[in-house]
Amino acid sequence: MAIAYRKQVDNDTEFALWKIEEKAADLYNQLQLDEQEKAYFDQLKLGKRHLHWLGVRVLLRTMLNTSDYIDCKIDEHGKPYLVSIPYHISLSHSLDYAAVMISKTRPVGIDIEQIQEKVERIADKFMRPAELGFINPNDRINQLYVGWCAKEAVYKCYGQKEVSFLDNIQLQPFTFAEEGTVGAQLRKDEVELDYQVNYMLYHDYMVGYVKG
């Protein structure tokens, strides 16, 4: 499967989605992995974790359009970065899709989630009462997923641990559309950052993405 969706956000930034339809062996054979990566891969349980880990890396390689080894590591906060290429990246996956966002100039964050009714059960764990107050009952599930994806994208873009979706990231009121923007503020200790998070409905998935 080739890239299912690709969007040029601006001159320096883009993201893409890959529908994972290949078997793990087919994805594995498209990659160059060092011994540490091979060992980590071997520790993963069979199933979607295999496919997700491979899928985001195949997509990253495809977007960078290189046959060279890509040294992609994770920092102490869990944020992925490229060792030898001066680009900012963000990775995500959900069920059948992998997502990668790349910027040449600024930190980025992306999140993809399959839309399911069960988000209702945890809504008050990541949305404040004021945020739940502007949710339209007719668009409730979609809006909740925008909320989750937007906050996850901001969290990834910021790239530091110990940030609470509920306590540290607040969304501005927005009306749901299949594609749109929502304002978000991250407030933690002395940190005060404002973001404009883009989102879009893609089949039965929600995608949120942001550039710092």
Direct distance between the N- and C-terminal alpha carbons of the chain, in angstroms, rounded to an integer: 31
Helix (H) or strand (E) holding 38: helix 35-43
The predicted structure's pLDDT at residue 50 = 87
| Ordered domains of the chain (ranges, CATH) | 3-106 (3.90.470.20), 113-211 (3.90.470.20)
pLDDT tens sequence across 66-120: 888 999 999 999 999 999 999 999 999 999 999 999 999 999 999 999 999 999 9
3-class secondary structure for 159-198? Answer: CCCCCCHHHHEEECCCCCCCEEEEEEEEEECCEEEEEEEE
Please state whether beta strands 13-19 and 3-10 pair in parallel, antiparallel, or not at all (unpaired).
antiparallel
The predicted structure's pLDDT at residue 40 = 85
CB 170 within 8 A of CB 153: no
pLDDT tens sequence across 159-204: 998 999 999 999 999 999 999 999 999 999 999 999 999 999 999 9
Please say if the pLDDT value at position 1 is more than 80.
no
What is the rounded distance in angstroms from the CA atom of residue 196 to the CA atom of residue 209? 9
